[in-house]
Every structure is written in structure tokens, then in C-alpha cells.
Structure 1
Amino acid sequence: MFKSKIFKVALVAIMFFTSSCDKWLYLEPEDAIVSQQFWKTKEQAEAALFGCYASLLDPDLGYQMFVWGELRADMIMPNPTASPDELEIVNGNILATNNISDWSSFYRTINFCNTLIEYAPLVQEHDPTFKTETLNTYVAEAKAIRSLMYFYLVRTFSEVPLKLTATVSDDQEFTLPKSPESEVLQQIIKDLEEAEVHAVSSYGNNMHNKGRFTKAGINALLADVYLWSEKYEETVAAANKVIASGQYGLVAGDDSWYSTVFGTGNSSESIFELQYGAQRHPYFTIIQNQRRFSAAPHVLEELYTIDYIDPEQYDIRAEGASLRADGRIWKYLGESANIARSDVAPYPNWVVYRYADVLLMKAEALAQLGQGQEALDIVKMIRDRARALPATEVGVEPDDVNGLTDYILEERAREFAFEGKRWFDVLRNSRRNNYERMDILLNMVMRSAPADRQQSIINKYRDKMSHYLPIFLFELQTNKNLEQNPFYAK
């Protein structure tokens, strides 16, 4: 089983991949271990690959995948148990000392991937059974994981150091300056396009297919990157490859939808999930045990709405799926609509991409390409599956690009509530065409920011660089080639 195997081989991989040094890109094996002891057999190369996947389960990384995508948006609200760092971000008082801007867990995974990409080819010198086809597949997976990490970083910080080689000794220079966002995105696209060529369509095992990058997983990520980069024809093409694979479909829109997609996981709708298994899911600390966040009141009442006349009519993504009526964020906490998951293993997976996401990314791109009716047809498909209430349906003309943008964005909010996507969705749609739709971002602030902080946050958000987090102070102190985001250097 993939879940058990990943942890067994990860123990081997992590022995070679970790060090006690605190420097931000200095989390690696000693060079002697890399070249002389570790990289000898195909099994060791496989262990290194699964070490890359295991590093995605780092609780800090999982926590940041959630808060980077939700905390500055409008669907969650902090409770009194929220940390000071979390409250500062909600209040728009973000400083370089805020631990939420610490990117080290992402660069740790990137260095694991860099090490595999650089050193796995050496195994063929020692192990003739390590076939080139297998090597190319492993490298493709490592490039996909690295791309996912850089995509989170570039959307959160805009400009970040672009490290593509392994750091394996003290003699290596690792204090890199930031690279422009365009350069990072270009590298991500290059890596993913190369990875797609060598990736497999199926591993012959459902858990592997959902827990490792396949061609479809790479194309789902590519569609997301293209959409962020305003490459709409490419977005549609990548999405169509996932659709044409015939491997995925929308899970039936009945009361089993939640338990199938999130309770059990690895459903026919899933494309790529982080397989937590016995590894503690960060949701339990921040949502259940400490309950640092709740769903914002408007989510149930306005986003999904409630049919008070006929309670049997409801959006399957609302009560008992995304949230509960008492404000609890339910995704990843329940086994079913009414039964809470106990705080013991196995823990729920984190769904990175699923089929509905690919469909709505395609719809968003089609809207920008002037193919509004096709976009509306996709939205209708999603809404019909979810049994969305008529009150949330919006009459939009196919040629109304702004209307389509708003409608699709709102549907994404319903479909992917609390999945770590909301802030990125709002920012992507706001910044399109040189921030032609800044109103989307500012309206969100009006709806979600604390009343006494609204005007202050709005004034800050008029500076485009405020949409990205500051470089963490520790990184600035240890890497003199880094320059602070200008908004926070004032």
C-alpha cells in the first residue's frame, strides 16, 4: 500500500536528506553520503522519490497551504484561540517577523527534489537494472513536486529565489537573490511540460494514481499555472487533456458525495491528494482541537443560502460538507455529513486537485476567450451535481465577461470552500489585465475585514505588492542577497 510504503522508505530517505543546520536552503545530505553511499541502487532512488512525497506531509507545510490560501480571504474568521500571527494577518498588520511567512518547509521539499533530479541519474552507473524509463519517471515526478512548491511560493511572495540545483555541502553557494515572478513561472511551465512527456498515465494502483503525480496531475497543475499566467488557450488545452483521459468524473451529487470525496478520499473525482494516513493532519490542530478558525457567517447564509420553506432542498456542499451550522469548518473533520472523524489515524487526505477544479479552470479560461456559453455550460454541470439552490443562480449573458468572471469565482467559492484556494482565486481574478478587476479584491475586504480595520486594509491593498507576504526576517538576516518586498520595506 502506498501510504505504508511512503513512510517506510521516507525513514530511509530522510536519514540522508536532513541536517541540523537552520539555513533556509541547507537541508540536505552530506556530499560524501550522496555520492558514495546513498546513490547506488534503484531502490535507494525510489526511497529518495518517496522522501520527496513524504516531505509534503510536513505539518508546517500543510498548515501554510491552508492559511496562505484562506487567511486573507473572506471565508474563515479567527476565534479567540487564534495565534497572534494569524490575527495580525487578518487585521492587515503583517510584519516580516510573522512566522506564517516562513517558507523553509517549501524549500526543504524543493531541495529534496533537486537532489533526486541531480543525483538519481548516477545510480545507473552502479545499478544496470535501473532503467532509463524508470529514471525519467522519477525525475518527472520530482519536477512536478518542485513545481507545485514553487507555484505556492510565487503566488504568495511574487518574487522568490529560484534554486534548481541540490545543496549538498557547506562549500556550495546558496544565498540566492529573488527571481522575478515571470522567470519563476516560466521555469515551472518548462519543468511541467518536460515532466508530462515522461510521466505515467497510471501506476496500476488507485492509491498511487491519486498520491503520485500522473500525466493528469501534471496537466491539472499546468492548467492552474497557465490560468495564473493569463495563458487561456494553454489552460483549456491542459484541462482538455485531463478530461480526455477518461480517468475522472464528478462524484454523484447525493448525500454520499462528502464522505466519498473527503471522508474516504482517493475518489474517482480526485486527481492528486496528499496521502496523510498515519501522519497527523494539520487541520486537527487548527480547526478541531484548538478551533482557531470558524466559517464566516455569510458562507452558509449567503454563499450557499438556505431554503427555509423546503429544508429538503440544499446544496450538498454546504451543511455537513464544507461546514456545520454552528460555524465549524467540516471539511477534513468528518467521516460523513453527521459523524465527526476521531483524532486518530488514519487522517484524511488533503485534496490538491480534483476534476471539478479542472472543469472550473477551463470555464474561467473560456470566459476570457469569448466562449461564454461553453463556460456557462460547465458551471451548470457543476451546479447540477451539487444541487445548488436557485437563489445562487445568476443570469449572465455569454458575452458578459465581467459577469462570467464573478459568477465562476462565486461558484469556485462554493465548490472549494476551505480547500486553501480562495485567496489565490480572488487575487488571480483581481490582477488580470493589470488589475482591471481590483474591485473584486476591495469588495472582499469590505465583506471580511474587521470593521475598525476595513479602511486601513483597503488603503494598503491599493499597493499591489501588499498582496504578497513579506520575506521572513530570518531569511533576510541569513541571506544578504535577498531584498524585502518593497511594500514591507517602507
Structure 2
Amino acid sequence: MANLKYSILGLFLLFTTSCDKILDVDVPDNLVHDEFWQNRDQVYAALMGMYSSMHDAMNSYHVWGDVRSSLYAPGSGDAYNASYGQLMQHDIYPANGLLSWRTVYRSISIINSFIKNAPSALEHDITFNPDELRTMMGEAYALRALNYFYLVRAFKDVPILDEPYESDNQQFDLSAHPEVDVLNFVEADLERALGDAPATFDDVRHRYGRITKNAVRALWADVKLWRNDFEGCLDLCQALDAQYASTLVEPLSWYTIFNPGNSAESILEYQYGLQGPTSPVYGWFAAFNRVDADGERYLANATNVRLNSQEVLYPPTSLEHSSSDTIRLSSFAMLRNTAVFNGFGPALEVYKFLGSVPYQANYRAANNRIPNYIFYRYREVLFMKAEAYAMLNRYVEAEQQINLVRRHCDIPELTPGESGEGVEFMSRLLMEREFELGFEGKEWFAAVRISRRPGYENILIDKAATDHSMGRPYQVIRARLLDQESWFLPYHLTEVENNPQLDQKSFYRNK
């Protein structure tokens, strides 16, 4: 694996009030053992470094989990390039830069360093409470599991690294481990995390922006669903129901989920603020003019991708429901910006991430750097439960979960049996997910998860190939997706060239 050897602690970008610069580093051996991990403050700084390292991986998380779904079409100008096009038309080559997993493994390496070295601070700082260290360790194991879960869903078989780089003398096994081994590793981390992670935090930003037991449960339920352990998924969701069933945002307050964020039904969000890195959401989903501090107009952010306008994402509703749920109401869910900016054509914008208020085109202006990235919220848990119940042939309970979401969007509930069974139900469920969770980063993963089950294979293929956003013929896209190995990404060319232990997948070897 290329570029895994670097001074791990020098990569920390700290969200602390006491340190606003990258840590000075020495050679790794001396730093780890002689200069760092000496007290509680250093351990806490390293903990924050684990979270901040995820920001650099955010584009990979989102691209791998969403851009191949039917929600996207090419953007315009320099913001769109052939790399995104390859993913959208399912014709992916190993040289594609979007395949690089460097930032994700860098985050994992930082977490590995924390897991190995943080306990040593107890020997040097008698004021450091062991119980606080235990909860921090729970956060670390959960974050490592989250990173590996992204990797395994995107690539299937990936290397497992559970040690930090601390010396040039270390030897690592960089071969790709089978998917089952990676998932076992993830579940082992989550089991420890559930026991040790904090129940909650008094500080609101930490309550939703750091790992808690509920965040572990949501992530683990997602893993169980990926592994077709439907009873295990429901067991984990049961504890989440006890915490969140009464917290669903009411219809006319739906927008608080996204602005200001950290709503009562949130489980885990990546926090952005006026200090620190800027949220990538505007770069992905906005294309509009605004006036900068000097009064000059400029293209603030060109979208990498835009909505596939041919997709019927937001079906019409009766007038009585037309103003209460603008996640689904197309005139506000996706705003068409008709201006032309420096040669860029018009684009559609995902308003739920960008706007300052519902029901009118009013953007966040000076605060456009702060939209949070939502990893898990309770409505997704309800969709997980619906999927698990359906796979257990408990369709009445499955529809009840969907109707809870619909009820809190003030749109008509499904009538008994309306969603059908089997393939019909799962196809409908994917659309229901898109209505609610569209552009939140996981819809390709959801389609892959469902379609890998025997008898459901054509769901992903038909969804991807019908009315293709780049105008590719149905049969062309279908042919590219018939082999399920195409649903997973190839290893980046550089990784294969620099790592003799990593063999390119057979499906991609001649590309």
C-alpha cells in the first residue's frame, strides 16, 4: 500500500482551543515513546486528531457511497471531470484518482496509534482518570470500525492494519483480506466500543459530533444488515427506538435536521464550525454567485455533480401536503439556479444542505462553511428496520417503519400491503430511502447490500440502467453491471504498483 509510512502524529489537525497548528514531529520512534502520550491533555488532543483526520476522507466516503447511485448526473465546467463520469456510467479504470484510499488509511493509522499508545499516559499523569481513558478508547475503536466499514463496502476485500507506523523496521501485511475477515474485525471493534464508549455528552456538539453508545449501535446495525443478520440488526435498533422514537422532528420543523443540525433525532454528525476546516457540502451541492468581502462576484462553489433531473425523486402530493415536507417537494428540494457563472451553465442545488430557511430560496451566506455531514440519524434506522423486517417476511411491521417516516413528513402513509413484497418491496424501499436520505452519502451502498441477496440482483441493475443520467443505453449499463464484482471498486493503480502483496481484482485487470 502506497504512502502508509509517515509521521502519524504530525498529521493531526486539532480542534482544540489550546492548539491551532499541526504538532511538531520528530522521528516516529522518539516522538511516540519520549515526547508524546505523557498526560491527559496530549491524549485528548490526539482524540480530537482522530476526528479531524476524517475530514480529509470525507470526499471518499461520499463518492464511494453515493455517486454511483441514480441520484447524480455530470455537473458542468471544471468541477466535473472524467473521474466522476467513470463512476456514474459504471466504466471504472484503476487509474481513477477517486479510488485512492490514502486518506482513509491515514485516518486508520492515526486511530491505531491512539489505541496502542494512549494507555501509557496513565503511567505519567496521576490525574488522568482511567474511566475517561476507557471511554476515549471506545470512541477510537468505533471510529476505526467506521473507516473499515466504508472500505469494505467500497472495495470488498481490503488490507487490515491494526498497528500504527512507528518505525521503518516494521513489517506490515498489506495483502487484501477477505470481506468476511474485515467484517469480523469491524464487529470485534464495535463490540468493544459498545462496552466502553460514553453514553452521551453534556455538550450538544459532542453529543452529536462524537461517538456515543447510540452511534455505535447505529453503525453496528448497519453492519449487521450488510451481513444479512436481520435479527441482530433489529436487536441493536431496539435500544435506539427507546432513545429516539419520541424525538422525531415534527413536519413543519423538518428543516432543523439540516440547519442548524444536531437535531433531536441525530445520532452522529461530523461537526463543522466557524473555526477549523470548511464543510465540503457546498463544494458538492452548490453553484451560485455571492458577493465576497471585497464586493466582487465570483463562482463560490461549482458542483462536482448535479441531480439527475430525469429521476422522479419527488412525486407530486396533494395541496394539503405541499408545504410541509420540502425534502420531497421538488420545487424546494432541488432548486434550479438558472444563472450562468463564468461560463458555467445552470445547475440544480440540494437545498436541504444549503438553505437558511425552508420554503424560500435563502442561503446561509456567511455561514456556508458550517453545514454538518450526517453519518446517522434515526430515520435511517427506521429504514434499516423496514429492510430487516421485510427480509424476515414481516411486511406489516416493515410498512409501519416507513409510515413513521412518512407521518413525520406529513405525507400520506402507505395503505396496508401497498409496498408489496420481495423485489417489489425492496425497490420501493430504495425509493423511500432516496426521498428521505437523498444525497446523504449511502444510497449506492444500500442498493448493493440489497441486490447481493439471491433473487434481488436485478434491483440495482435496473435502477442504474433505466433512464441513465448520462444517456447511456440501458443494455450498455446492464452489461457493465451483470458481474457483481463490478459493483465494487478496483484498487487504485498506484496502490497495486507500489504494493507487491496487493493483486488487482480479476474483473479490472485488463482495464
**TM-score normalized by structure 1?**
0.89
| 2:344 counterpart residue number | none
Is 1:131 the counterpart of 2:142? The answer is no
Contact 2:38 2:124 (C-alpha < 8 Å) held by counterparts: yes
| 2:478 counterpart residue number | 458
| 2:294 counterpart residue number | none
| 1:173 counterpart residue number | 171
Is 1:447 the counterpart of 2:482? The answer is no
Residue in structure 1 matching 2:67, options 48, 68, 71: 71
Q: Call closer, same or farther: CA 1:204–1:452 in 2, change over 3 Å.
A: closer
Opposite residue 272 of structure 2, the aligned amino acid is Y
| 1:183 counterpart residue number | 181
Give, in angstroms, the shift of residue 328 of structure 1.
1.9
Contact 1:304 1:315 (C-alpha < 8 Å) held by counterparts: no
Unaligned residue ranges in structure 1 (runs of 5+): 20-28
SS at match of 1:105: helix
Residue in structure 1 matching 2:335, options 302, 315, 324: 324
Q: Call closer, same or farther: CA 1:42–1:378 in 2, change over 3 Å.
A: same
Opposite residue 486 of structure 1, the aligned amino acid is S
Contact 2:221 2:236 (C-alpha < 8 Å) held by counterparts: yes
Give, in angstroms, the shift of residue 124 of structure 1.
1.2
Give, in angstroms, the shift of residue 219 of structure 1.
0.2
Superposition map of 1:52-131 within 5 A: 52-58=50-56, 61-81=57-77, 82-131=80-129
Q: Call closer, same or farther: CA 1:268–1:313 in 2, change over 3 Å.
A: closer
Give, in angstroms, the shift of residue 308 of structure 1.
7.6
**TM-score normalized by structure 2?**
0.86
Residue in structure 2 matching 1:211, options 168, 190, 209: 209
Contact 1:281 1:347 (C-alpha < 8 Å) held by counterparts: yes
Distance, in Å, in 2 between the alignment partners of 1:353 and 1:425 is 14
Q: Call closer, same or farther: CA 1:438–1:136 in 2, change over 3 Å.
A: same
| 1:291 counterpart residue number | 303
CA offsets per residue over residues 426-461 of structure 1, 9 Å max, x none?
Answer: 11110124xx21111111122253333532321121
Unaligned residue ranges in structure 2 (runs of 5+): 1-12, 287-300, 338-347
Q: Which moved more, 1:352-361 or 1:62-71?
A: 62-71
| 1:265 counterpart residue number | 261
Distance, in Å, in 1 between the alignment partners of 2:84 and 2:411 is 32
SS at match of 2:58: helix
Distance, in Å, in 1 between the alignment partners of 2:58 and 2:501 is 28
Is 1:385 the counterpart of 2:408? The answer is yes
| 1:476 counterpart residue number | 496
Q: Call closer, same or farther: CA 1:174–1:9 in 2, change over 3 Å.
A: farther
Opposite residue 257 of structure 1, the aligned amino acid is W
Aligned length: 466
Opposite residue 403 of structure 2, the aligned amino acid is K
Give, in angstroms, the shift of residue 146 of structure 1.
0.8
Identity of aligned residues (%): 32
CA offsets per residue over residues 24-75 of structure 1, 9 Å max, x none?
Answer: xxxxx712101110110011011101100111122xx222222212211101
| 2:429 counterpart residue number | 408
CA offsets per residue over residues 393-423 of structure 1, 9 Å max, x none?
Answer: 5763688333332332221111101101110
Opposite residue 65 of structure 2, the aligned amino acid is G
| 2:228 counterpart residue number | 230
Q: Call closer, same or farther: CA 1:440–1:43 in 2, change over 3 Å.
A: same
Superposition map of 1:358-437 within 5 A: 358-388=381-411, 393=414, 396=417, 400-433=421-454, 436-437=455-456
Give, in angstroms, the shift of residue 95 of structure 1.
0.8
Contact 1:307 1:314 (C-alpha < 8 Å) held by counterparts: no
Give, in angstroms, the shift of residue 80 of structure 1.
2.6
Superposition map of 1:193-208 within 5 A: 193-208=191-206
SS at match of 1:452: coil
Is 1:157 the counterpart of 2:155? The answer is yes
Distance, in Å, in 2 between the alignment partners of 1:400 and 1:345 is 43
Q: Call closer, same or farther: CA 1:398–1:348 in 2, change over 3 Å.
A: closer
Opposite residue 404 of structure 2, the aligned amino acid is M
